[in-house]
Amino acid sequence: MRMVTYLRTILLSLAVFYFLSSCSPSSTDIMDPKGPAANSIASLGWVFFILGGLIFLAVMGYLAYALLVPRSGATGPRGTLIVILAGMAAPGIVLLILFVLNTNVLRDIRTPGEDEAAAVIEVVGHQWWWEVNYQNPQLETANEIHIPVGKPVLLKLTSKDVVHSFWVPELHGKMDLIPGRVNTFWIQADEPGQFTGECAEYCGLQHAKMLFVVVAEPQEEYDAWVEQMQRPAVEPEDDSAQEGREVFLSTTCIQCHTIRGTHATGNLGPDLTHLASRQRIGAGILPLNRANLGGWVANPHGVKPGVQMPPAEIDGEDFQALLDYLLTLE
Ligand code: CUA
């Protein structure tokens, strides 16, 4: 009866764990790799899991045999031989095999040189968003990294404030962003798609809301995106958007944000030159649409308490015009 209760508790816990683990907005599955580095790491993970499982079963089996079969323990020279074989030789061989496999994976995930990389991107961590400065080709954006499919992309990771960690589970392991230091890292996706990245080092109140997306796309689409990003901001055409630009340029917005082609050149917050081309706002936490953008600009702390951005003190028509303008920035 007690056994049944135990079993039920274990199964229930597993079920709860399973359902809670799917609470995250998009899949970030380390066991479903989409790039060569993540693939090597996942394969090694399976080897460790299966080998460890088999050894665990063998040890438990031997323990059960020793406990249940009376006077089954070997003594004398036979006992010594068992200790040498099962206690020293076998673990030695297993550790040696794992060491060699580990070394192979380290070689597979070696960071490529700048000349081998399809792009070189500096990623700067901020509380709580990601500054993305492409060095080759040259462009600036935030919280969204586009890469060409099937090619390695070199990353130079650093931070403006505290330690963060760059992690796209389906593409590679984690790498820290440390103030005053540049860590080189790389990612590669072997199929087109969108991969969610997150900060993997506790960095303050909104650590959990420090997301980004990696968009892997065919070379032509990537090239088109680069070309679009390199252009200065579009000139607003309709009256309201033009008015919105005046509102933007006459408020404190410009102290933190850059819109290339205007006199807004702040660099404390994300570059907004092509804001409307991005899928999400607030470092990945909300889809970009008029309602979310309005809520965010009017009261960022309502969405992300503690965020550095102050609420905009703009109302009525000016506020609507400002949204009209921001949504033209493709
Ligand atoms: Cu940035 Cu956690």
- Tens digits of residue pLDDT in 239-298: 999 999 999 999 999 999 999 999 999 989 999 999 999 999 999 999 999 999 999 999
Average pLDDT across the chain, whole number? 91
Contact 259 CB / ligand 1 (< 6 Å): no
Q: Whose CA is nearest to atom 1 of ligand 1?
A: 164
CA 75 – ligand 1 centroid, Å: 57
Taking 80 as the threshold, does the pLDDT of residue 31 lie above it? Answer: yes
Enter the tokens of residue 241: 């958007």
Q: Give the pLDDT band (50/70/90) at residue 25.
A: very low
Ligand 1 atom nearest 162 alpha carbon: 1
In this structure, the number of other CB atoms found within 10 A of the CB of residue 52 comes to: 12
pLDDT at 29: 83
Ligand 1 centroid, distance to 280 Cα (angstroms): 18
Q: What is the pLDDT of residue 12?
A: 74
Residue 16: the pLDDT is: 64
Atom of ligand 1 minimally distant from the CA of 163: 1
Query: Residue range 112-131: average pLDDT?
Result: 94
- Split at pLDDT 50, 70, 90, the class of 9 is confident
Q: What is the mean pLDDT of residues 133-137?
A: 93
How far is residue 25's CA from residue 101's CA, in Å, rounded to a whole number?
A: 34
pLDDT of residue 313: 86
Say if CB 167 and CB 197 are below 8 A apart: yes
Q: Token pair for residue 182?
A: 């540049």
Angle between helices 290-298 and 316-328 (to 10 degrees): 120
Residue 174 Cβ inside 6 Å of ligand 1? The answer reads no
- Spell out the alpha helix ranges (H) of the chain: 2-20, 36-68, 76-82, 90-108, 219-230, 239-249, 290-298, 300-303, 316-328
Q: Which atom of ligand 1 is nearest to the CA of 125?
A: 1
Residues 6+ apart with CB under 8 A from 60: none
The verdict on the CB of residue 172 being under 6 Å from ligand 1 is no
Q: Cβ(126) to ligand 1 under 6 A?
A: no
Q: Looking at residues 120-126, what average pLDDT do you find?
A: 97
Q: How far is the C-alpha of 207 from the C-alpha of 127, rounded, in Å?
A: 8
pLDDT in tens, 62-115: 899 888 887 766 678 888 898 899 889 999 999 999 999 999 999 989 999 999
